Amino acid sequence: MSAVGIWKIAAADPERIAVVAVDGTSTSYEKIAVHSNQLARGLRALGLERGDRVAVVMRNAPELVAIILAAQQIGLYVVPINFHSTADDISFIVKNSGTRAVFVDPAFTRTCQDALDSIDFPQNARFCTRKSAGFETLSDWRRHFSGDRPDDTAAGSVMFYTSGTTGRPKGVLRPLPTGDGDEGAAQQIWILQVFGIEAGDGAHLVNSPMYHTAVFSLGMAALHCGQTLILMDEWEPELALRLIDRHQVTSTHMVATHFHRLLSLSDAVKAKYDTKSLTYALHGAVPTPVDIKQRMMDWWGPVIYEYYGSSEVGGTLVTPEQWLAKPGTVGLPFSITRLEILDDDGNPVPNGEPGWIYMRQGDEDFQYHNDPDKTANVSRGELVCVGDIGYLDEDGYLFLCGRDAEIIISGGVNIYPAAIEGHLLGHDAVQDVAVVGVPDDEFGEQVKAVIVTKPGHSAGAELEKELIQHCRDELSHITCPKSVDFVDDLPRDPSGKMYKQRVRDQYWQGRTKRI
């Protein structure tokens, strides 16, 4: 195996490119190692000790990578904050996590300053990547410190805050790894090894903001493996293809929305770019319709690996070959993951019957930071459930049905939107879709499809009728939409995750909602 960990790689091959920024500029392994060393020494000079936290409110950039590396080689937790967050949410996360230093981009200084002022956050621990009032300039501060590796390095970690769509964001806290910084780097690459990716040359395309769990974990693991990170900011399908071709990208992480938008490109645009360098296209986070994934396989070949998991605990994996044999599955548990499907009373359910997905990753414990009640609410003994519903087939492969909050209950029947959405995305007129339950005086809820049409297709009664019939041709009539609304766009975060609650809420204003 090749050298693992950016500091060892920097010593062995200093000119190797570590990061290619959004503007195309390159940063070598040696340079990013020096910057991370300076920042690590600076954080120590601020008085930060093992187990302390630093927060980042930043777009994908080499500076962000250097800050992560700095914290994680001196035993700190990195707290990535969604840069779309309000000042109120940012101040909550900073205070709740116990963050002691905050790093921001110029685009977010006004929001962050309001957030930090509201909790009297220390002025000398606020940093910005460019000159900005109220923040110390990162490059100026960094230059006060030596670029040599700090003494007595210690493995750090990351503390993600889960989505706040159903209340305040929740911090997922795990014990720090043991060992020094190099041992910590070596431990981080396990997530790539699960997919069969070993250390060595390559390029990893970072499609989404690194405040997302999978994007962060896979990107940093790829860097410690010796790969070059190709950073994107605003994602565009043709730009992604161009970068894959230009940099001979070997691995990337995507979600179903990326796939759908790539497939919507014309054949002429697709033919302009060579994607044969790709050997691993990893995807997860949101359910991927079978038809969409099959078409991607037809285009890119058997390089698409799917996973299912959460920030809290555990995961599954399905290889291309396994998925082709069992279309729609999200695979088998990781070797260190325990997976069970349980009913409301905590009893195992038979194969093929939907139930709550409970998991545990090895001997690893987690807790929602400062919130033992929330931790207890998702736990059953050593197992954890984050609200997802699925079933196992006779061979132990997991299939997802959806989230508890998304289930539509119509006339006492549970209806899972994911399958309906996947079917509608297979229609030539559909660009994006959300299927939600809306009020129905007789049945409690009825199924509604909220649709964004592709260019060239006219929304209206005729298309509504066609889409409902499209569902009735293949799906059980009780699960099919009773009506269709057409909108210009649907609310998604940069990773493609739908803010389904926002779509649903507009139909329940003034009505009693099922919680």
Q: What are the DSSP calls for 13-67, one per residue?
A: -TTSEEEE-TTS-EEEHHHHHHHHHHHHHHHHHTT--TT-EEEEE--S-HHHHHH
Which domains, and CATH codes, for the chain?
A: 6-224 (3.40.50.980), 410-505 (3.30.300.30)
pLDDT at res. 365: 74
Integer CA distances (angstroms), 98 to 93, 159, 396, in order: 8, 11, 41
- Residues forming a β-bridge with 194: none
Q: Which SS3 state, helix, strand or coil, does residue 268 take?
A: helix
pLDDT at res. 165: 44
Torsion of CA 319, 322, 326, 328, to 10 degrees: 0
pLDDT at res. 514: 47
Q: How many residues does the chain have?
A: 515
Euclidean distance between CA atoms 332 and 281, whole angstroms: 18
Q: Which SS3 state, helix, strand or coil, does residue 415 take?
A: strand
pLDDT at res. 74: 98
Q: Which SS3 state, helix, strand or coil, does residue 389 take?
A: strand
Contacts of 151 (CB under 8 A, 6+ apart): none
Euclidean distance between CA atoms 130 and 461, whole angstroms: 52
Euclidean distance between CA atoms 58 and 79, whole angstroms: 11
What angle is formed at CA 486 by the lines to CA 482 and CA 488, rounded to 5 degrees? 155
Both tokens assigned to 226: 């010796």
Tell me the one-letter amino acid at 494: P
Q: Which SS3 state, helix, strand or coil, does residue 335 take?
A: coil
Euclidean distance between CA atoms 71 and 412, whole angstroms: 51
pLDDT at res. 393: 97
Helix, strand, coil shares of the chain, percent, nearest 5, are: 35, 25, 40
- Per DSSP bridges, beta strands 355-361 and 388-392 are antiparallel
> Which residues of the chain are under the pLDDT cut of 70?
1, 163-167, 285-286, 494-495, 511-515
pLDDT at res. 495: 64
- Residues forming a β-bridge with 451: 433, 486
Of the candidates 96, 47, 78, 60, the one whose C-alpha atom is nearest the C-alpha of residue 184 is 78
pLDDT at res. 402: 78
Looking at residue 22, what DSSP letter applies?
T
